[in-house]
Amino acid sequence: MPEGDTIFRTARALGRALSGKAVTGFRSTYPLLTRFHDDTPLTGQTVEQVESRGKWLLIHFSGGGTLATHMLMSGSWHIYRPGERWQQPRFNMRIVLENSEYIAVGFRVPVAKMLKPQELARAARIPVPIIDVLSESFDAVEVARRVRAHGTEEIADVLLHQEVLAGVGNVFKSEICFVTGTNPFCRVAALDEAKVAALVATSQRLVCANVLEDSGDAIVTYGGRKRRTTHESDPTASLWVYGRKGEPCRRCGEPIRTRLQGPDARVTFWCQVCQPMPDGLEVDG
Residue of 55, 98, 154, 184 marked catalytic: 55
- Interface with Zn ion (CB under 5 A), residue from 143, 249, 257, 261: 249
Count Cβ atoms within 10 A of the Cβ of residue 249 and give its class: 0-12 exposed, 13-18 middle, 19 or more buried: buried
- Interface with Zn ion (CB under 5 A), residue from 151, 273, 278, 281: 273
Residue 3 a catalytic site member: yes
252 binds Zn ion (CB under 5 A): yes
Residue 37 vs 250, nearer CB to Zn ion: 250
d(CA 259, CA 267): 6
Residue 113 a catalytic site member: no
Least separation in angstroms between residue 100's CB and Zn ion is: 55
What residues between 44 and 83 interact with Zn ion by CB under 5 A? none
- Say what the alpha-carbon torsion angle 221, 223, 229, 230 is, to the nearest 10 degrees: -10
* Binding region for Zn ion (CB under 5 A) out of 19-27, 209-217, 239-247, 264-272: 264-272
Q: What residues form DSSP beta bridges with 114?
A: 67
Residue 276 a catalytic site member: no
d(CA 183, CA 277): 6
Least separation in angstroms between residue 245's CB and Zn ion is: 14
150-174 as b/e: b if 16+ CB within 10 A: beebbbbbbbbbbebbbbbbbbbbb
Least separation in angstroms between residue 64's CB and Zn ion is: 52
Residue 143 vs 274, nearer CB to Zn ion: 274
Residue 117 vs 278, nearer CB to Zn ion: 278
274 binds Zn ion (CB under 5 A): yes
> Could you give the string, one character per residue 195-234, with x where binding to Zn ion holds by CB under 5 A and - elsewhere?
----------------------------------------
- Interface with Zn ion (CB under 5 A), residue from 271, 276, 278, 282: 271
* Binding region for Zn ion (CB under 5 A) out of 3-11, 93-101, 182-190, 251-259: 251-259
Residue 146's contacts (CB-CB under 8 Å, 6 or more residues apart) are 131, 163, 164, 165
- Nearest C-alpha neighbor of 178 from the set 151, 194, 198, 152: 198
Site size toward Zn ion (CB under 5 A) is 7
Q: What residues form DSSP beta bridges with 80?
A: 103
- Interface with Zn ion (CB under 5 A), residue from 35, 122, 205, 251: 251
* Binding region for Zn ion (CB under 5 A) out of 31-39, 139-147, 155-163, 273-281: 273-281
User: Which sequence positions are flagged as catalytic?
Assistant: 2-3, 55
Chain residues binding Zn ion by CB under 5 A are 249, 251-252, 254, 271, 273-274
